[in-house]
Amino acid sequence: MFKGILIEKNGDQPTVSVRELDPADLPAGNVTVRVAYSTVNYKDALAITGTSPIVRSYPMVPGVDFAGVVEQSADPAYKVGDQVVLNGWGVGEKHWGGLAELARVPGEWLVPLPAGITARQAMGLGTAGYTAMLCVQALEKQGLTPASGPVLVTGAAGGVGSVALLLLARLGYEVTAMTGREEETDFLKRLGASEVMNRAAYSEPGKPLARERWAGAVDVAGGHVLANVCAAMRYRGVVAACGLAAGMAFPATVAPFILRGVTLAGVDSVMAPRAERLEAWRRLAQDLDMARLEQLVEEVALQDVIALAPRLLAGQVRGRVLVPLAA
């Protein structure tokens, strides 16, 4: 038996509990992993609280990512003892995820743990850090460099935002951090923000075009925030959009795109091709100061994850939440 969080549904109301689970109930897959660490992401908090219909089948173990050691393998790419990482592919939604001591998945969903990164560090980054790296790569693909001008990161005190800020500052960019939590100003400046701005200025309907300010942006918010970010981009600026914390809608006009040549680059971490995943993890190992990663990490026990989920959705959790699972 192994311990995990299980979301069940009897009637209309899902229930969530920490349970002893039977390995025989693990879903189909050709690799079984002894999970060392997982995390609590925004999507996990939605699933655990039932706030959004994230879970597609029941019962479900949440957790969109994990790092651990291969315990059984019928995939020639992996052998017992290999250290691996998983992000996305619908785990925690359609396939049992990482908030349990064991996971079984198709081998093609896994990537080897990069050299120079421990399992703890990998989940200190987790899907949020991996997504942040995909956003940085999307900006670079459109030609953004530190010489291009200032870059904005929205939701900068959250998981994706805090790692994006740390990465961009490390790469030499002048970064402005946007947050709704002014009490996090000192924390964000320690991560490398040259300026911290309140998101209130971007949270209401704005003009189709605003004063040109940003050469690049990483947006986790969507909604009016994303519309106002696009309106304030410089000529040929680029926005990497990866989240919807402020809403699914995009109440914007085409003005920034047809008058300033702004690029809005969508970033999806769930189904990203393997080659892009491997490169993102390689870049994280290369470009991130792992010693500074500890500033972002809050560690919680598995039994405390359910109570933490509403706090995460309310924007009351800073940085990354790490969940140790190895005995």
Q: 73-84: per-residue pLDDT in tens?
A: 999 999 999 999
- Are 138 and 249 contained in the same domain? yes
- Are 192 and 132 contained in the same domain? yes
- pLDDT at residue 222 is higher than 90: yes
Tell me the two tokens of residue 230.
């696009």
Cβ-count burial 213-249 (b if 16+ within 10 Å, e if not): bbbbbbbbbbbbbbbbbbbbbbeebbbbbbbbbbeee
Q: 292-311: per-residue pLDDT in tens?
A: 888 888 899 999 999 999 99
- CA-CA distance, 143 to 83, in Å (whole number)? 34
- CA-CA distance, 157 to 163, in Å (whole number)? 9
For residue 205, how many other CB atoms are within 10 A of its CB?
A: 8
Give the rounded distance of the alpha carbon of 323 from its chain centre.
Answer: 15
Q: Could you tell me where the DSSP H helices lie in the chain?
A: 42-49, 119-141, 159-170, 185-191, 223-231, 255-259, 274-287, 290-293, 305-313
- Are 205 and 177 contained in the same domain? yes
The domain of 72 spans 2-113+293-324
At 72 the pLDDT is 97
Mark which of 251, 266, 281 sits at the end of a domain.
Answer: 266
At 326 the pLDDT is 82
Say if 261 falls within a structural domain. Answer: yes
Average pLDDT (255-283) is 95
Say if 45 falls within a structural domain. Answer: yes
Where residue 159 sits, what CATH number does that domain have? 3.40.50.720
Say if 274 falls within a structural domain. Answer: no
- Are 31 and 141 contained in the same domain? no
DSSP 113: P
Say if 148 falls within a structural domain. Answer: yes
At 209 the pLDDT is 97
Query: What percent of the chain is helix, strand and coil (3-state, nearest 5)?
Result: 35, 30, 35
**Would you say 219 and 154 are in contact if contact means Cβ atoms under 8 Å apart?**
yes
pTM for the full predicted model:
0.88
Spatial CA neighbour of 232 closest among 210, 251, 203: 210
At 204 the pLDDT is 93
Spatial CA neighbour of 133 closest among 264, 246, 288, 319: 288
DSSP string for residues in 159-225: HHHHHHHHHHHHTT--EEEEES-GGGHHHHHHHT-SEEEEGGGGSS---SS----EEEEEES-BHHH
- Are 174 and 140 contained in the same domain? yes
- Are 78 and 186 contained in the same domain? no
20 backbone φψ class: left, alpha, beta (φ>0; ψ -120 to 50): beta
Mark which of 221, 249, 266 sits at the end of a domain.
Answer: 266
- Distance of CA 50 to CAs 3, 20, 44, 62, 212, Å? 21, 22, 10, 11, 40
- pLDDT at residue 249 is higher than 90: yes
- CA-CA distance, 272 to 134, in Å (whole number)? 9
Q: 145-196: per-residue pLDDT in tens?
A: 999 999 999 999 888 999 999 999 999 999 999 998 889 999 999 999 999 9
At 318 the pLDDT is 82
Average pLDDT (248-255) is 95
Tell me the two tokens of residue 154.
């929205």
- Are 256 and 297 contained in the same domain? no
At 320 the pLDDT is 87
Say if 286 falls within a structural domain. Answer: no
**Would you say 186 and 233 are in contact if contact means Cβ atoms under 8 Å apart?**
no
- Are 140 and 239 contained in the same domain? yes
- Are 216 and 180 contained in the same domain? yes
Q: Which residues pair with 321 in a beta bridge?
A: 298
Say if 119 falls within a structural domain. Answer: no
- Are 244 and 133 contained in the same domain? yes
- pLDDT at residue 290 is higher than 70: yes
With cut-offs at 50, 70 and 90, classify the pLDDT of residue 315: confident
With cut-offs at 50, 70 and 90, classify the pLDDT of residue 327: low
Where residue 35 sits, what CATH number does that domain have? 3.90.180.10
Q: What's the total number of domains in the chain?
A: 2
**65-73 and 102-105 beta bridge pairing:** unpaired
Q: 84-95: per-residue pLDDT in tens?
A: 999 999 999 999
Is the peptide bond preceding residue 273 cis, with omega within 30 degrees of 0?
no
- Are 87 and 173 contained in the same domain? no
Average pLDDT, the chain: 94
Say if 11 falls within a structural domain. Answer: yes
Q: 10-69: per-residue pLDDT in tens?
A: 877 789 999 999 999 999 999 999 999 999 988 999 999 988 888 999 999 999 999 999
Q: What is the largest CA-CA distance in the chain?
A: 61
- Are 7 and 71 contained in the same domain? yes
Q: 109-157: per-residue pLDDT in tens?
A: 999 999 889 999 999 999 989 999 999 999 999 999 999 999 999 999 8
Say if 54 falls within a structural domain. Answer: yes
